[in-house]
Structure 1
Amino acid sequence: MAHIDLGLDETKLPGISGLMRFRPETAEPLNALAEALLRAPNSLPAGERELIAAYVSGLNECRFCRDSHSAFAAAQLDEGMTLVQQVRADLDTAPVSEKLRALLRIAGAVQESGRKVTTELVAAARAQGATDVEIHDTVLIAAAFCMFNRYVDGLGTLAPDDPSGYAASARRIVERGYIDSV
């Protein structure tokens, strides 16, 4: 049970979904941010951007965000959940492009502290073909998910154990996006 009374059945709207319903005036800009970062036209595919969100959420040990964004990434990546799990288990050996690996390293640095993003990490990403926009968006996705993770966990929301619920949410996000998902 959440730390505050959300006035709803948390099993039907777990994690951030219940929080969005509880405070629609804050849900609107938060969903718009997620839509812009994770789904808007970008040279990084949506699945890779979701993978960044899942990776950071895993580092933050936010089970709801880790599992939901893992499902969202898997639904949009050809290699599916297998790749997501490989990245989460061991970034160094996961079968991703060197560019994505470099961007995920930047995201991991942001998760620790924005000051952990070094010129060397940025140069390594650029050397693998990452653009300034991709580096910018990686940092912002990572920073935003640190906030989202703390929002979800700070209010003690429910994180379901059944992966089928996350898969259903993934279908909804892929079809309708974040703005129309709650």
Structure 2
Amino acid sequence: MAHIELGLDETSLPGITGLLRFRPETAGPLSALAEVLLRGPHPLSAGERELIAAYVSGLNECSFCRDSHSAFAAEQLDEGMALVDQVRADLDSAPVSEKLRALLRIAGAVWESGRKVTPELVERARAHGATDVEVHDTVLIAAAFCMYNRYVDGLGTVVPADPGAYVEAGRRIVERGYLDLA
């Protein structure tokens, strides 16, 4: 049960979805930010951006966001959940491009502290072909997911017991996006 009374059936609206329904005034901007960062036109695929969100959520140990964004990434990556699991388990040996690995390292640095993003990390990403937009948005996705993770866990939201719930939610997100949540 959430730390506050959401006035709804929390099991049918777990994690951030119940919080968005509880406070529609904040739901719009939060959902719009996720939509732009994770689904808008971008040089990184939607699956790669979801992988960044899943990676940071895993570092934050936010079960709901980790599992949901892992499912959303898997739905949009050819290699599916196997790749997501490999990245989350061992970034160094995961079969991703060096550019994506460098961007995920930047995301991990943001997770620790924005000040941990060094010129060397950015230069490594650039050396592997990352653009300024990709570096910018990686930092913003990582920072936003630190916020989203703390929002979800800070209010003690319900986490689905059935892992299949994330798969179905992934299909909905791919089909309709984040604005449908608000």
Where do 5+ consecutive residues of structure 1 fail to align? none
Work out the CA distance in 2 between the residues paired with 1:20 and 1:181.
7
Q: In the TM superposition, what is the alpha-carbon distance from 1:8 to its structure 2 partner? A: 0.8
Q: In the TM superposition, what is the alpha-carbon distance from 1:181 to its structure 2 partner? A: 3.3
Work out the CA distance in 1 between the residues paired with 2:161 and 2:124.
37
Contact 1:75 1:170 in 2 (8 A): yes
**Structure-to-structure mapping, 1:6-45, within 5 angstroms:** 6-45=6-45
Amino acid in structure 2 at the alignment position of 1:144: A
Which residue of the partner structure matches residue 152 of structure 1?
152
| Structure 2 length-normalised TM | 0.99
Q: In the TM superposition, what is the alpha-carbon distance from 1:161 to its structure 2 partner? A: 2.7
Which residue of the partner structure matches residue 96 of structure 1?
96
- The root-mean-square deviation of aligned C-alpha atoms, in Å, is 0.6
Give 4+ residue runs of structure 1 displaced > 2 Å after superposition. Answer: none
Work out the CA distance in 2 between the residues paired with 1:9 and 1:161.
15
Contact 1:71 1:166 in 2 (8 A): yes
Which residue of the partner structure matches residue 161 of structure 1?
161
Alpha-carbon displacement from aligned partner over 1:50-98 (angstroms, at most 9, x marks no partner): 0000000000000000000000000000000000000000000000000
Which residue of the partner structure matches residue 110 of structure 1?
110
Work out the CA distance in 1 between the residues paired with 2:106 and 2:22.
33
Alpha-carbon displacement from aligned partner over 1:15-42 (angstroms, at most 9, x marks no partner): 0000000001100000000000000000
Count matched residues.
182
Work out the CA distance in 1 between the residues paired with 2:62 and 2:69.
11
Contact 2:20 2:181 in 1 (8 A): no
Contact 2:44 2:134 in 1 (8 A): yes
Contact 1:172 1:181 in 2 (8 A): no
Does the alignment pair 1:64 with 2:64?
yes
Amino acid in structure 2 at the alignment position of 1:39: R
Which residue of the partner structure matches residue 54 of structure 1?
54
**Identity over aligned residues, as a percent?**
81
